[in-house]
Every structure is written in C-alpha cells, then in structure tokens.
C-alpha cells in the first residue's frame, strides 16, 4: 500500500473538466499549510515545472484498466489505458509540464495546467533539460489529432 497526502491545491477559473483549450489557463498552486514558503524557494529560476496531481473528480466506476477508444472516438484505434493520457486511469494520477510565471510566498503561479479548481497536487518538480528525452519524440497520428486543440489559446 502506498499512502500520499496532497502538498497543494489548484486554484483557477476552470470549474468543470473539459478536453481542450487549456493554453491560456493561469493557475495558482497553493501549498498546504504543512509546508512553508521555503519549500518553493528559487523555483522561479526555472522556466517550467512538472505538476503531478490527482484526478479527484473521476468516479470509481469510470476507472479504466484495459483498452478504450481515446475520447470515445471510434475513428481512432482502441489503445490501452497506459498508452494514453486519459483521466480515467487506475490511480487517477495526472502530470503536466507548465510554464512558471512567478512565485509569491506559498503560491506558485503557472500557465497551462490542465487541472480544474480544487484539484489536489501530489508533487512539483522543476523541469531540467537533462531529464528531457535525448532522442526525437514520436507518437501515433491519432495522438497528434487528439491534441490539436488541447493547448489552444484565445489567440489561436
């Protein structure tokens, strides 16, 4: 058994889960009162961070353990839950790379976090280029199509 407690909570204007248009979303990740602002010292010297969070709105009955059509689109291939980034995962764990805007005390302001208001944050890690893939990243065509509007902004 693994036991974790949230370290922070997401605050933003998105109240409902949506599939697209996350590019303009600015979120505040507010540390739990168990953590002092020292836990975030110097994170603003990084351009990006990885945010690990819990899909708290996914009901147990909607958890997928096998294969499914991404976004229920039968024009795309049926793929295993671990071969996609859907929210209905067995452990309901989400991960997103965000742009760091600023830090104020126990609050980290970020752009491009695809988590709704009230989402529990499990961990925050700065992005270091040495941890990025050293080879070209490849993906199937359906994934590119699925993501076409995901990071869309008002300016797009």
Instruction: Identify whether 41 is part of a domain.
Output: yes
Query: CA-CA distance, 138 to 69, in Å (whole number)?
Result: 20
Instruction: Identify whether 153 is part of a domain.
Output: no
CATH number at residue 117: 2.40.30.70
Instruction: Identify whether 137 is part of a domain.
Output: yes
* Tokens standing for residue 7: 């370290």
Q: What share of the chain in percent tops pLDDT 90?
A: 78
Mean pLDDT of 83-93: 93
Q: What are the residue ranges of helices labelled H in the chain?
A: 141-146
On the CB side of 111, CA atoms within 13 Å amount to 10
Closest CA to 111 of 69, 55, 153: 153
This prediction has a pTM of 0.91
Q: What share of the chain in percent tops pLDDT 70?
A: 95
Residue 21 banded pLDDT, cuts 50, 70, 90: low
Domain total in the chain: 1
What is the DSSP-derived secondary structure letter of residue 35?
S
Domain that includes residue 127, residue range: 8-146
Residue 117 banded pLDDT, cuts 50, 70, 90: very high
Instruction: Identify whether 20 is part of a domain.
Output: yes
Mean pLDDT of 59-74: 92
Instruction: Identify whether 63 is part of a domain.
Output: yes
Cβ count near 146 (within 10 Å) = 20
Instruction: Identify whether 22 is part of a domain.
Output: yes
Instruction: Identify whether 110 is part of a domain.
Output: yes
Instruction: Identify whether 42 is part of a domain.
Output: yes
Judged against a pLDDT cut of 70, whether residue 22 lies above it is answered with no
Mean pLDDT of 74-95: 94
pLDDT of residue 72: 87
């Amino acid at each position: 058994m693994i036991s974790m407690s949230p370290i922070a909570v997401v605050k933003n204007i998105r109240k409902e889960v949506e599939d697209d248009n996350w590019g303009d979303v600015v979120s505040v990740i507010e540390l739990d009162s168990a953590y002092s602002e020292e836990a975030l010292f110097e994170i603003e010297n990084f351009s990006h961070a990885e945010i690990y969070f819990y899909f708290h709105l996914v009901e147990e009955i909607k958890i997928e353990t096998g294969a499914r059509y991404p976004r229920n689109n039968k024009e795309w291939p049926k793929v295993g839950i671990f071969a996609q980034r859907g929210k209905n995962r067995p452990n309901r764990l989400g991960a997103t790379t965000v742009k760091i805007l600023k830090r104020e005390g126990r609050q980290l302001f970020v752009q491009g976090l695809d988590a709704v208001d009230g989402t529990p944050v499990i961990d925050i890690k700065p992005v270091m280029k040495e941890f990025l893939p050293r080879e070209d990243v490849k993906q199937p065509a359906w994934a590119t199509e699925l993501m076409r509007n995901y990071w869309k902004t008002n300016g797009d």
